[in-house]
């Protein structure tokens, strides 16, 4: 059944196939495509595009072939799956792509003969005819070692001016490890580009763009509406990866038809996410029972400060995310009728009840220019600037759904006396490429079963420690180290001190711009007078202050600018770590 015709569409808007017509030109994808095309046309040899699963690598490779197809001086060859059992299989396949696999008598060729045929073909096409020969390899992480060596030999075929064969490899993140094992091949890379996920603005625009592409230009009765909280939920669930966005939106449209709805709201998206089988996170919808518990959480959180649980934010009952109040922008103002063009997708703000709002008030308060609000994508028809609201650092500001559970309002940086050490160190928001074990090592220097168990106990909403998502708030357990003499009798190099765990992580990341973040650790310590403090220090304990000063003197001026030696701590301080 062609379900999309029920929605007055001519094509399926969220097909899983890499259709070039549905290629959304985000800034990163366009930049990658332009750099790649330039490197290939300049005949620089090897280009590598690396990205996470579903980042759009395959779609990008098809788009590259499409761009070259109109140029008679360029011939492209696509290798979909580079996994081969033997070198002969690989060479025969490449020779087959070039049309030189067999000879006149039909006898099997040796590896040497196949290489010679390939070399002669490339010389004939690239030198004698002046053509650009491009070999595009998808799923590059599957390339075996012997094939990597053969590709290196192909790159040795060159004139004084340029390479005879241009190779573009699209691979997943693990392809980086393969390159480390083949330094001779990696040294020949001319262009390396990491293809990341879309931000919230591009996620909204991609959904809009695909529906517009699937609509009939001669009809004006297409009105598929996604509310603002619905798009926010889609972005959170998919992480901005195009393949996940397409898969989720396809299921959402089907659910909208089945439930006879006229718009996609947050509740519908959440029900689809749950129905797709990912139950590792509980549904964060605010049921009456959870509302009562949320009120109780606020009361407990207020009492927690009095009883010394400094820096701890209680996770919302049932799991899900805790979002700071800064994630919610105040919308309002008079309604602006008719701002959504016919035949387009509209974003609906959701307050006490879902209704359409004008975003003028938010634009005026945020001071965002019209240029920053524009949603740029190829093939857009009648797009509304009100659809997306962003700030300079892509931190999204939307009129949030009132069903969201907001963290109890207290200040992590309050300086208060605490009669006893805290039960937790505080909360920290997970950033990209940050995992539970890495976070535990940043504080405790290891990630053993004892630490994992303690982490799970203070984060009951996380059922799988391997599935902590970017943007989620997690609580760090407080495990005191009984060996206080290890800290009091040593020398340390500190780059600063903070009052909250989250601020300590931020300082560590900021300092990591001039020094590798892996060189730094966070040393939490507690005193009855000052409460909990977090010192960001170099990941090395020196025997005394003199040794620490010598090490400090060897640092580069950029690294040493904010660093200082610490050799004394407050008496009776309690330290949390494992040195």
* Residue in 471, 522, 477, 463 with CA at minimum distance from that of residue 497: 522
Separation of alpha carbons 498 and 509, rounded Å: 13
Of 220 and 340, the one with more pLDDT: 220
pLDDT at 380 over 50: no
DSSP states of 289-325: HHHHHHHHHHHHHHHHHHTT-TT--PPPTTS---B-G
**Mean pLDDT, residues 430-444:** 79
Identity of the highest mean pLDDT range in 3-7, 275-279, 331-335, 514-518: 3-7
Backbone angles phi, psi at 40, to 5 degrees: -70, -40
Q: What is the pLDDT of residue 557?
A: 73
Superfamily of domain 27-195: P-loop containing nucleotide triphosphate hydrolases (3.40.50.300)
Q: 318 and 282 in contact (C-beta within 8 Å)?
A: yes
pLDDT for res 569: 80
Report the candidate in 482, 558, 488 with the shortest Cα–Cα distance to residue 519: 558
Assign 579 a pLDDT band (cuts: 50, 70, 90).
Answer: low
Among 36-45, 277-286, 409-418, the range of highest mean pLDDT: 36-45
At residue 490, φ and ψ (nearest 5 deg) are: -115, 180
Bridge partners, 171 (sequence order): 50
Q: Each residue of 235-248: pLDDT tens digit? A: 999 999 999 999 99
Query: What one-character DSSP code corresponds to residue 131?
Result: P
| DSSP H/E element including 527 | strand 520-527
Average pLDDT taken over every residue of the chain: 75
pLDDT for residue 352 is more than 70? no
**Residue pair 462/430 in contact by the 8 Å Cβ criterion:** no
Q: Which are the contacts of 58, defined by CB distance < 8 A and separation ≥ 6?
A: 18, 138, 170
Cα torsion angle, 395, 399, 404, 406, sign: positive
**360 vs 363: CA distance, rounded Å:** 5
Pairing of strands 46-51, 574-576: unpaired
Under CATH, what is the fold of the domain 200-283+325-387? Helicase, Ruva Protein; domain 3 (1.10.8)
pLDDT for position 154: 94
Instruction: Quick: pLDDT tens for 25-76.
Output: 898 899 999 999 999 999 999 999 999 988 999 999 999 999 999 899 999 9
* pLDDT above 70 (res 335): no
3-state SS assignment for residue 535: strand
Query: Regarding predicted confidence, which is higher, 346 or 520?
Result: 520
Work out the percent of the chain whose per-residue pLDDT is above 70. 70
Task: Among 147-151, 166-170, 243-247, 484-488, name the one with the lowest average pLDDT.
Answer: 484-488
Predicted pLDDT at 221: 57
pLDDT over 60 at 307, yes or no: no
Q: Work out the burial of residue 189: count CB atoms within 10 Å of its CB; fewer than 13 is exposed, 13-18 middle, 19 or more buried.
A: middle
At residue 34, what are phi and psi to the nearest 5 degrees?
A: -65, -45
* Token reading at 330: 């105040």
Rank 129-133, 317-321, 438-442 by mean pLDDT and report only the highest: 129-133
Q: What is the pLDDT of residue 431?
A: 78
Both tokens of 154, joined, read 């192909």
Residue 456, both tokens: 């799970």
Rounded Cα distance between 71 and 68, Å, is 5
Given a contact cutoff of 8 angstroms between Cβ atoms, the answer to whether 389 and 396 are in contact is yes
Number of Cβ within a 10 Å radius of residue 522: 23
Tokens (6 digits) for 11:
């094509």
Contact by Cβ (8 Å): 76, 134: yes
Helix (H/G/I), strand (E/B), else coil: 187: coil
Please check whether residue 200 is in contact with residue 390, taking contact to mean a CB–CB distance below 8 angstroms. yes
Q: What is the pLDDT of residues 506-516, one digit of tens each?
A: 888 776 554 45
Q: How confident is the model at residue 92 (pLDDT cuts 50, 70, 90)?
A: very high
Confidence of residue 351 (pLDDT cuts 50, 70, 90): very low
Q: Which sequence spans correspond to the domains of the chain?
A: 27-195, 200-283+325-387, 424-576
The percent helix, strand, coil of the chain (3-state, each to 5) is 40, 15, 45
CA dist 82 to 114, 183, 474, Å?
17, 20, 40
CA-to-CA distance for 203 and 241, rounded, in angstroms? 8
Distance CA 148, CA 157 (A): 15
């Amino acid at each position: 059944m062609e379900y999309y015709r029920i929605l007055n569409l001519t094509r399926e808007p969220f097909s899983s196939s890499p259709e070039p017509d549905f290629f959304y030109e985000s800034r990163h994808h366009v930049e990658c495509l332009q750099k790649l095309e330039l490197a290939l046309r300049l005949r620089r040899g090897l280009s590598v595009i690396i990205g996470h699963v579903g980042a759009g690598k395959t779609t990008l490779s098809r788009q590259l072939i499409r761009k070259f197809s109109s140029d008679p001086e360029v011939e492209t060859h696509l290798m979909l799956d580079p996994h081969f059992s033997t070198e002969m299989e690989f060479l025969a396949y490449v020779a087959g792509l070039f049309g030189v696999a067999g000879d006149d008598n039909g006898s099997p060729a040796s590896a040497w003969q196949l290489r010679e045929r390939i070399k002669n073909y490339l010389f004939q096409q690239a030198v004698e005819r002046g053509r650009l020969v491009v070999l595009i390899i998808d799923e590059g992480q599957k390339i075996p070692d012997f094939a990597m060596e053969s590709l290196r030999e192909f790159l040795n075929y060159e004139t004084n001016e340029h390479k005879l064969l241009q190779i573009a490899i699209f691979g997943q993140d693990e392809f980086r490890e393969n390159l480390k094992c083949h330094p001779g091949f990696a040294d020949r890379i001319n262009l390396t580009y990491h293809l990341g996920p879309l931000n919230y603005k591009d996620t909204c625009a991609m959904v809009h763009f695909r529906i517009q592409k699937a609509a009939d230009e001669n009809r004006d009765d297409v009105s598929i509406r996604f509310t603002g909280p619905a798009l926010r939920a889609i972005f959170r669930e998919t992480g901005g990866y195009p393949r996940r966005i397409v898969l989720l939106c396809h299921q959402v449209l089907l659910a909208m038809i089945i439930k006879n709805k006229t718009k996609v709201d947050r509740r519908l998206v959440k029900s689809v996410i749950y129905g797709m089988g990912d139950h590792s996170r509980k549904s964060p919808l605010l049921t009456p029972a959870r509302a009562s518990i949320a009120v109780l959480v606020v009361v407990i959180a207020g009492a927690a400060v009095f009883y010394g649980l400094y820096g701890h934010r209680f996770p919302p009952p049932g799991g899900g995310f805790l979002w700071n109040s800064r994630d919610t922008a105040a919308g309002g103002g008079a309604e602006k009728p008719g701002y959504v063009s016919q035949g387009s997708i509209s974003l609906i703000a959701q307050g006490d009840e879902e209704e359409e709002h004008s975003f003028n008030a938010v634009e005026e308060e945020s001071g965002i220019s019209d240029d920053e609000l524009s949603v740029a994508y190829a093939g857009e028809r009648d797009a509304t600037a009100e659809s997306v609201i962003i700030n300079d650092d892509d931190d999204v500001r939307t009129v949030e759904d009132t069903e969201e559970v907001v963290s109890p309002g207290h200040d992590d940086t309050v300086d208060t006396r605490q009669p006893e050490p805290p039960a937790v160190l505080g909360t920290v928001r997970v950033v990209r490429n940050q995992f539970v074990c890495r976070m535990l090592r940043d504080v405790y220097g290891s990630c053993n079963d004892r630490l994992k168990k303690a982490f799970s106990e203070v984060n009951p909403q996380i059922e799988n420690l391997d599935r902590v998502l970017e943007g989620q708030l997690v609580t760090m357990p407080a495990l005191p180290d009984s060996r206080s003499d290890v800290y009091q009798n040593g020398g340390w190099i500190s780059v600063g001190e903070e009052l909250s765990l989250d601020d300590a992580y931020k300082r560590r990341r900021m300092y990591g711009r001039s020094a590798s973040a892996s060189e730094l650790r966070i040393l939490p310590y507690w005193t009855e007078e000052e409460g909990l403090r977090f010192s960001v220090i170099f990941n090395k304990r020196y025997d005394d202050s003199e040794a620490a000063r010598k090490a400090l003197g060897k640092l580069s001026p950029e690294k040493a600018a904010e660093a200082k030696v610490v050799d004394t701590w407050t008496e009776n301080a309690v330290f949390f770590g494992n040195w």
